[in-house]
């Protein structure tokens, strides 16, 4: 298996950045991934402090808010620029109070009364707003993405699954055989731990935000599971780049 693409998603639920390299650190999440998130406005999360991990229900995310996929996001450090249909809608520094206020107002206007209260930009310094609190990164195979797309009748697009590392593979779901094993990836070493169980977020087309048929029952019927991708822990630090090989070590 060869690294095909590396993806960082700075803000949970929004589009990502394709990277030329990533410096993986033992015992940490994928660098810069899900460092920010925007609350879904529910009153029970109104006083949630920055830096506290919460389940995805606390935040705007594709499983419930498919409109997020219609936004094109660009990042320069902590400055986020959002365009929609080719027109700039927002430019704000997520690391400043004024920028956070602008982002809160933008998403408040976007979702209006469809969410129960005012959204709020959150930042976590130690950890990431990933769906699991564990310090794992996610990987998946291009053949798996293509096979699911072909079987389900949609366009293959790895962004649908929001994985950190896309591996060029030949056989659908072959990456699952790595679970329980150590693997060298570039200069880093991983312990592969578990499959990535999917949720209804994968029903959303990442290109236009259209919510298609619910895929989980169809995947269960076709494949006997609803997984795509694998979780791994970084156990030895190192730099990874597209083109680097993944090699099973045990």
DSSP string, 106-171: HHHHHHGGGSSS---EEE-SSS---SSSS--EEEEEHHHHHHHHHHHTS---GGGTT-SEEEE-SS
Band the pLDDT of 50: cuts 50, 70, 90: confident
Band the pLDDT of 42: cuts 50, 70, 90: confident
Q: What is the CA radius of gyration of the chain?
A: 18
Band the pLDDT of 190: cuts 50, 70, 90: very high
- Long-range contacts for 208-215 (Cβ within 8 Å, ≥24 apart)? 208/69, 208/70, 209/66, 209/67, 209/68, 209/69, 209/70, 210/66, 211/66, 212/154, 213/152, 215/148, 215/152
Answer yes or no: is pLDDT of 174 > 90.
yes
Answer yes or no: is pLDDT of 46 > 80.
no
Looking at residue 235, its pLDDT comes to: 98
Q: For residue range 198-208, what is the model confidence (pLDDT) as tens digits?
A: 999 999 999 88
Q: Tell me the CB-side half-sphere exposure of residue 136, using CA atoms within 13 A.
A: 18
Looking at residue 180, its pLDDT comes to: 97
φ and ψ at residue 98, rounded to 5 degrees: -65, -40
Looking at residue 147, its pLDDT comes to: 98
Where helices occur in the chain by DSSP H, the ranges are 97-111, 142-152, 215-223
Looking at residue 43, its pLDDT comes to: 83
Looking at residue 28, its pLDDT comes to: 97
Q: For residue range 109-168, what is the model confidence (pLDDT) as tens digits?
A: 999 989 999 999 999 988 999 999 999 999 999 999 999 999 999 999 999 999 999 999
Question: What average pLDDT does the chain have?
Answer: 95
Looking at residue 137, its pLDDT comes to: 98
Give pTM, 2 decimals. 0.94
Where do you find CATH 2.40.33.20 in the chain?
Answer: 2-30+131-248
Looking at residue 125, its pLDDT comes to: 86
Answer yes or no: is pLDDT of 54 > 90.
no
Band the pLDDT of 65: cuts 50, 70, 90: very high
Looking at residue 167, its pLDDT comes to: 98
Angstrom distance (rounded) from CA 134 to CA 112: 33
Looking at residue 44, its pLDDT comes to: 80
Answer yes or no: is pLDDT of 55 > 80.
yes
What is the CATH T-level fold of the domain 2-30+131-248, as seen in this structure? M1 Pyruvate Kinase; Domain 3 (2.40.33)
């Amino acid at each position: 298996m060869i690294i095909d693409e590396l993806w960082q998603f700075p803000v949970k639920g929004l589009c990502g950045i394709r990277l030329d390299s990533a410096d993986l650190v033992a015992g940490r999440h994928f660098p810069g991934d899900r460092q920010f998130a925007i609350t879904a406005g529910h009153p029970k999360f109104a006083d949630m402090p920055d830096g506290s991990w919460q389940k995805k229900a606390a935040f705007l995310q594709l499983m419930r808010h498919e409109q997020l996929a219609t936004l094109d996001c660009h990042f320069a450090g902590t400055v986020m620029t959002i365009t929609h249909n080719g027109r700039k809608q927002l430019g704000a520094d997520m690391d400043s109070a004024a920028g956070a206020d602008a982002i809160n107002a933008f998403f408040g206007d976007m979702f209006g009364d469809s969410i129960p209260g005012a959204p709020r930009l959150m930042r976590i310094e130690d950890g990431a707003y990933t769906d699991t609190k564990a310090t794992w990164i996610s990987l998946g195979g291009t053949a798996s993405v293509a096979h699911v797309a072909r079987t389900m009748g949609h366009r293959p697009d790895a962004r649908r699954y929001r994985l950190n590392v896309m591996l060029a593979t030949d056989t659908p779901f072959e990456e699952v055989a790595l679970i329980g094993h150590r693997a060298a990836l570039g200069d880093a070493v991983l312990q592969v731990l578990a499959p990535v169980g999917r949720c209804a977020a994968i029903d959303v087309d990442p290109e236009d935000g259209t919510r298609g048929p619910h895929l989980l029952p169809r995947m269960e019927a076709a494949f006997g599971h609803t997984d795509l991708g694998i979780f791994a822990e970084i156990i030895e630090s190192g730099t990874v780049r597209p083109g680097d090989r993944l090699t099973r070590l045990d």
